[in-house]
Amino acid sequence: MEPSQWEYVGRRRCDSAASVPQFCNSPTVIVMVGLPARGKTYISKKLTRYLNWIGVPTKVFNVGQYRREAVKTYKNFEFFKPDNEEAMRIRKACAAAALKDVAAFFTKEHGQVAVFDATNTTRERRAVINSFAKERGYKVFFVESICDDPEIITENIKQVKFGSPDYIDRDIEEAMSDFIQRIECYKASYTSIDDEKDRKLSYIKIFDVGSRYLVNLVQDHIQSRIVYYLMNIHVTPRSIFLSRHGESELNLLGRIGGDSGLSPRGLKYADALATFIRGQNIKDLKVWTSHMKRTIQTAEALGVQYEQWKALNEIDAGVCEELTYEEIQESFPEEFAMRDQEKYRYRYPKGESYEDLVHRLEPVIMELERQENVLVICHQAIMRCLIAYFLDKPADELPYLRCPLHTVLKLTPVAYGCKVESFFLNIEAVNTHRERPTNVNVNRKPEEALQTVPDHN
């Protein structure tokens, strides 16, 4: 049997053709716990982005959004007073609606992890969620964020609360004072997860933005990965610079893969990159490259220490290594078409897929999370995977993200996401981006297949 048929046969027995086994059998509900402005939504969104990137379908259910739907205009903190019975009813209904959507996500949309983002500050509320999950056979994992440092709280409020729909028409002073009173409304009834009474629950408590963690009863692989991720992220301001190697000899010839050196323009880019980096005045910049000559040559021009990661090597094109697209179309027209049909999952014969790349890059991402200022000099497919992680791009968009040569992307975390700045360093280079052609059928004509191939020598 042909290897590709084996993949199919394999799929009968195991549920996925992904490069790693899928370990999520029962769906998991991650329940955030904590007073307002403790980073719950920040964690929810970041964790969701990470889980989706590694291939675990995840979604955030933010109860605040449900509340904003139910109560069109937010007046002031009085809504959150514990004795406001009307408001209490609405808030309970919102939580219930969100839980209902969680169930739908699992049963109808093939979701695997749902992040229930709300304060969940009372034992009662947490018990409700726990029963809800138990009844349906879902696992529950609590993530509690505890922080009493007034500076951090104020900073959080400034970064994300002022821009929230609740405060859109207020002035900053007013918004700040209202929000602080909102927090007070929760404080009286706030019961932290109890290490004695709740010893049968699975949870992680995060203290002071990651200075300390308490982890209880990790049940399975996904919870273990979540804990590891949470322990590696930080909120210290920093920037990540992503760039490809300078234009290479093989780039000029329109050939994919290989391990060639830089072209003359590529060498110019390396110098321009060095100038650019110096101009950025970055403190303690780490520089990472792959094991391939072209990225290392690029890094050499910087005149600083750099680290080589094999994991950053370009996608392995297997039998198509060093061919032009025209040659691939001639020798492997069916493979070429199948790649256009499903570029994310398609694996080159004896090579890799984008899906394999994501798996290979996961330790790089984990270390990027730990680090501060980093410049990563890598390759087209690799850069697409990294950008997809930082900018939360789904698998079908990932292989078509634009990562032109001689352009540096500067990513700076801000609020709940990432600011992106693109710097083209003014050195001409070939275009290596190939859009998806209109006809992806295996029976298409060669011209249709080669419709979107960029020019080359």
Partner 1 sequence: MPRELTQNRIQKIWVPTKDDKRRGTGAPHFANPPTVIVMVGLPARGKTYISKKLTRYLNWIGIPTKVFNVGEYRREAVKNYSSYDFFKPDNESAVKIRQQCALAALRDVKSYLKDEGGQVAVFDATNTTRDRRDLILKFGNENDFKIFFIESVCEDPSVIASNIMEVKVSCPDYKDCNKTEAMLDFQKRIECYRTSYQPLDPDQYDRDHSFIKVIDVGRRFLVNRIQDHIQSKIVYYLMNIHVQPRTIYLCRHGESTDNLEGRLGGDSGLSQRGQQFSAALARFVEEQQLKDLKVWTSQLCRSIQTAEHLGVPYEQWKALNEIDAGMCEEMTYDEVKEKFPEEFALRDEDKYYYRYPAGESYQDLVQRVEPVIMELERQENVLVICHQAVMRCLLAYFLDKSADEMPYLRCPLHTVLKLTPVAYGCKVESICLNVEAVNTHRDRPEEVKRGPGTLIRRNSVTPLTSPESHIKKPRIEDLDEAPIQELPNSVASLALSTSSHIPLALAGEVLNTSSSLHLGHHDIHQFLTFSLCMSAHLFVALLSALAGQSLPVSI
Which residues are known catalytic residues?
Answer: 245, 314
Among 69, 168, 228, 445, which residue interacts with partner 1 (rule: CB under 8 A)? 228
User: C-alpha 382: how far from its chain's center?
Assistant: 14
Q: Does residue 142 interact with partner 1 by CB under 8 A?
A: no
* CB contact at 8 A, 378 and 372: no
Among 92, 212, 419, 445, which residue interacts with partner 1 (rule: CB under 8 A)? 212
Scanning 13-21, 28-36, 134-142, 170-178 for contacts with partner 1 by CB under 8 A, the matching segment is: 13-21
Q: What is the nearest approach in angstroms of partner 1 to the Cβ of residue 207?
A: 9
Among 181, 232, 239, 439, which residue interacts with partner 1 (rule: CB under 8 A)? 232
Beta strands in 4-148 (DSSP E): 28-33, 58-62, 113-117, 139-146
Residue 16: what are its φ and ψ, rounded to 5°? -140, 150
Q: Which is nearer to partner 1, 9 or 188 (CB)?
A: 9
Q: How far is CA 50 from CA 54, 88, 232, 357, 362, in A?
A: 6, 33, 12, 15, 10
Pairwise CA distance, residues 383 & 399, whole Å = 10
Q: What is the nearest approach in angstroms of partner 1 to the Cβ of residue 317?
A: 11
Nearest to 310 by CA among 288, 330, 331: 288
Among 61, 309, 336, 390, which residue interacts with partner 1 (rule: CB under 8 A)? 309
| Residue type at 165 in one-letter notation | P
Burial degree of 162 (CB within 10 A; 0-12, 13-18, 19+): middle
Nearest to 357 by CA among 111, 56, 55, 113: 55
The structure tokens listed for 413 are 């975390």
Q: What is the nearest approach in angstroms of partner 1 to the Cβ of residue 134?
A: 20
* CB contact at 8 A, 253 and 324: yes
Pairwise CA distance, residues 230 & 241, whole Å = 23
Q: What is the nearest approach in angstroms of partner 1 to the Cβ of residue 148?
A: 13
Other C-beta atoms lying within 10 Å of the C-beta of residue 433: 14
Q: What is the nearest approach in angstroms of partner 1 to the Cβ of residue 219?
A: 10
Q: Which is nearer to partner 1, 21 or 150 (CB)?
A: 21
Other C-beta atoms lying within 10 Å of the C-beta of residue 434: 18
List the beta bridge partners of residue 324.
255
Q: Does residue 149 interact with partner 1 by CB under 8 A?
A: no
Q: Does residue 43 interact with partner 1 by CB under 8 A?
A: no
Q: Which is nearer to partner 1, 242 or 270 (CB)?
A: 270
Sign of CA dihedral 369, 375, 377, 381: positive
Scanning 112-120, 305-313, 376-384, 402-410 for contacts with partner 1 by CB under 8 A, the matching segment is: 305-313
Nearest to 370 by CA among 244, 238, 224: 238
Q: Does residue 345 interact with partner 1 by CB under 8 A?
A: no
Q: Say whether 245 counts as a known binding-site residue.
A: yes
Pairwise CA distance, residues 207 & 230, whole Å = 12
Among 37, 301, 382, 409, which residue interacts with partner 1 (rule: CB under 8 A)? 301
Q: What is the nearest approach in angstroms of partner 1 to the Cβ of residue 13?
A: 5
Q: Say whether 433 counts as a known binding-site residue.
A: no
Q: Identify the three-state secondary structure at position 288.
A: strand
Among 32, 113, 292, 317, which residue interacts with partner 1 (rule: CB under 8 A)? 292
Q: Which is nearer to partner 1, 307 or 397 (CB)?
A: 307
Q: Say whether 251 counts as a known binding-site residue.
A: yes
The structure tokens listed for 346 are 């398609």
Residue 2: what are its φ and ψ, rounded to 5°? -70, 150
Among 127, 172, 217, 420, which residue interacts with partner 1 (rule: CB under 8 A)? 217
**Region 368-427 residues binding partner 1, contact defined as CB under 8 A:** 370
Among 270, 376, 398, 429, which residue interacts with partner 1 (rule: CB under 8 A)? 270
User: How many residues of this chain interact with partner 1, rule: CB under 8 A?
Assistant: 54
Nearest to 403 by CA among 425, 390, 422: 422
Among 154, 192, 308, 452, which residue interacts with partner 1 (rule: CB under 8 A)? 308
Q: Does residue 267 interact with partner 1 by CB under 8 A?
A: yes
DSSP annotation of 161:
I
Q: Say whether 243 counts as a known binding-site residue.
A: no
**Region 21-40 residues binding partner 1, contact defined as CB under 8 A:** 21, 23
Pairwise CA distance, residues 406 & 294, whole Å = 13
Q: Does residue 218 interact with partner 1 by CB under 8 A?
A: yes
Pairwise CA distance, residues 415 & 25, whole Å = 33
Q: Which is nearer to partner 1, 340 or 355 (CB)?
A: 355
Q: Identify the three-state secondary structure at position 281.
A: coil
Q: What is the nearest approach in angstroms of partner 1 to the Cβ of residue 211?
A: 6
**Region 313-332 residues binding partner 1, contact defined as CB under 8 A:** 321
DSSP annotation of 139:
E
List residues forming the annotated binding site for substrate: 244-251, 294
Contact residues toward partner 1 (CB under 8 A) are 1, 3, 6-7, 9-10, 13-14, 17, 19-21, 23, 195, 199, 211-218, 220-221, 224, 227-228, 231-232, 259, 261, 267, 270, 288, 291-293, 296-297, 300-301, 307-311, 321, 350, 356, 359, 363, 367, 370
List residues forming the annotated binding site: 244-251, 294
